[in-house]
Chains A and B, each alone.
Chain A
């Protein structure tokens, strides 16, 4: 197996995971566990595809996916933040809805391909200089524009979370909303903004699948990747930089079994498929045993914030 080709494919398989993971990191940092990732990815995937198909515009397609993801998460945000409904149930309802939404709108498009000019616009572009680095250049810097956008988003989120006052406020909202509220932070506004951006990134992740990874419309195109993203957030301990490595690792695992078949290794594909989930559980356990604050979920995650009960 050509290692360079494999790693290159792992980056592509990992990119939708990376985008969704970044979205969920923002959401969870605000104290909300959104189990609707799978649904929002499907919504973004179908709207991105349909828009690309009818308008032939890659920009409009990506914008549509972005907005649809945000719209999906708006429902979730309204339920969990304003109406204080149980987060798990709301997220699952969103996944149900998103699955129906994509299945319904996408039915007429099953098997159709992404228009050629959209495909061309989203084709690989080699970055000068960086793309010429031996080995790494081709793997990381000879890719489609969305991969580059994902790098930029990682850096922006990294700086935002760790170097800005607003990022610090966000962490406070997730850790202790009552204290954040007392300190004059608008808790609900923070939650809304980050849940919405998180949903938008999930929508973009879905569009990556339908416009670049596949690139055609097929039923259930997300195929469980949204749940892998839920796992990844924990695996990378809510850290956007680690999310890059984690996503490519899980992306690699996703295609590894497929490639190993050629070599008739004795590890069945099924056990390789289990690895992301098993690894996530182990990370979860280690973090809780060590009680290392850094690697634990945001303290208020999953709990609605009742100002009146403060």
Chain B
């Protein structure tokens, strides 16, 4: 017989090794799917890497894909630190983008810095308020936040669909219904050839890391997350901390939405969030809620998508294979967490363990 015991003292190096083994395991299993298409898996993986990193243009495209993933992960992880399972990132991104669009479309002639700042603040506030709704109910009535935030995603998406296909439909656009493009003043400027979102990402990674690890608020959030009773005993206002944290959490997601709308789409669209809200949950979790790690993981996730786009054209392998590989890597990495945190200890029979 055996029992499972918590493990302590696993070094980061060992943990990284476990994860690496996990990734290799995932790639081996995923090879089965590539073999179905009668292609050589090693060749395909190699060209995925080449396709992802092979040129300046491609790396640029990875960074653009990684920006919303990273910023949304920052947001999600603030809530997760509190053990508030905010899976409403998708909706909060949409509402942030909606707020930004509201400003951009109504004040197209403001000067660029003023307009962008106005958009960013509105996006943050809209995303934050949208996350605040389930947080208020959680604080007051202990309403299940996982399900609440999940439902809020679909309401936000339907709302933006309504705007795009009906209320805000650009009468001048021919063909596919779309919302009018923002004025040029509402476009994020490029910094070294990539929209400024990457600068925001890096700054936020540092700021949020310091906020979570070294500020009073950040400390309070982690105490509440560890034990609500300890927090109460220490005289913390648990409800207030939860509401503040969720406003920040949703706000960051909203900011990601503003950046996508302004820097990539040039307008608000149903596709603005592009599943980033869900992917970010996975990224935040894999990074164990560490902001700097999230930047790297978001980059790798984006690289994988980029590599998938490449092999679709190069090998006629459906792009869906990247989702399979992504899923597999997730399964394996999630699985290895167990071996990092626990060990299996044999139990002698006479001790009566079972």
Contacts and interface: CB of A to CB of B under 8 A. Distances in A.
Interface of A: 33, 35, 75, 78-79, 82-86, 88-90, 92-104, 107, 224, 227, 230-231, 234, 268, 270-271, 273-274, 277-278, 280-281, 284-285, 288-289, 291, 297, 302, 307-308
B151 A96 contact: no
Given A88-B146, A273-B158, A100 B334 contact: no
Contact of A97 (B143, B159, B327): B327
Nearest to A287: B143
Given A278-B155, A288-B144, A96 B323 contact: yes
Given A97-B331, A107-B318, 4 more contacts: A93-B282, A103-B323, A284-B148, A307-B4
Interface in B304-344: 318-328, 330-331, 334-335, 337-338, 342
Nearest to A276: B154
Contact of B151 (A79, A99, A280, A302): A280
B330 A288 contact: no
B35 interface: no
Nearest to B328: A97
B335 A79 contact: yes
A288 B143 contact: yes
A93 B279 CA distance: 9
Given A97-B323, A97-B331, A101-B324, A281 B148 contact: yes
Contact of A89 (B143, B281, B324, B325): B281
Contact of A100 (B5, B146, B150, B322): B322
Contacts of B330: 89, 93, 96-97
A274 B156 CA distance: 9
Q: Which 3 A-B pairs have the closest CB atoms?
A: A97-B327, A100-B323, A103-B320
A33 B148 CA distance: 13
12 contacts: A83-B334, A83-B337, A96-B330, A103-B318, A103-B323, A231-B150, A270-B165, A274-B155, A284-B143, A291-B141, A297-B147, A307-B4
A33 B143 CA distance: 15
A188 to B, nearest CB: 11
A297 B162 contact: no
- The interface residues of chain A, by DSSP majority, are classed as helix
Interface of B is mostly: helix
Contacts of A94: 327
Contact of B324 (A35, A100, A308): A100
Contacts of B6: 308
A285 B320 contact: no
Interface in B120-171: 137, 141-144, 146-148, 150-152, 154-155, 158-159, 161-162, 165-166
Contacts of A231: 147, 150-151
Nearest to A85: B334
Interface residues on B, range: 35 or more
Contacts of A284: 143-144, 147-148, 151
B107 interface: no
A285 B324 contact: no
Contact of B282 (A78, A83, A89, A273): A89
Contacts of B87: 35, 88, 92
A277 B278 contact: no
B334 A302 contact: no
Nearest to A231: B151
B331 A79 contact: yes
Contacts of B162: 268, 270-271
A95 B161 CA distance: 23
Given A227-B150, A230-B150, A100 B155 contact: no
Contacts of B327: 93-94, 96-98, 100-101
B331 A75 contact: yes
Contacts of A230: 147, 150
A231 to B, nearest CB: 6
Contacts of B166: 268, 270
A270 B165 CA distance: 9
B335 A85 contact: yes
Contacts of B328: 97
Contacts of A86: 285, 334
A83 B343 CA distance: 11
Interface string B81-98: 000010100000000000
A270 B324 CA distance: 32
Nearest to B337: A85
Nearest to A228: B154
Contacts of A270: 158-159, 161-162, 165-166
Nearest to B34: A104
A232 B337 CA distance: 32
Contact of B159 (A89, A274, A291): A274
B348 interface: no
Interface string B154-190: 1100110110011000000000000000000000000
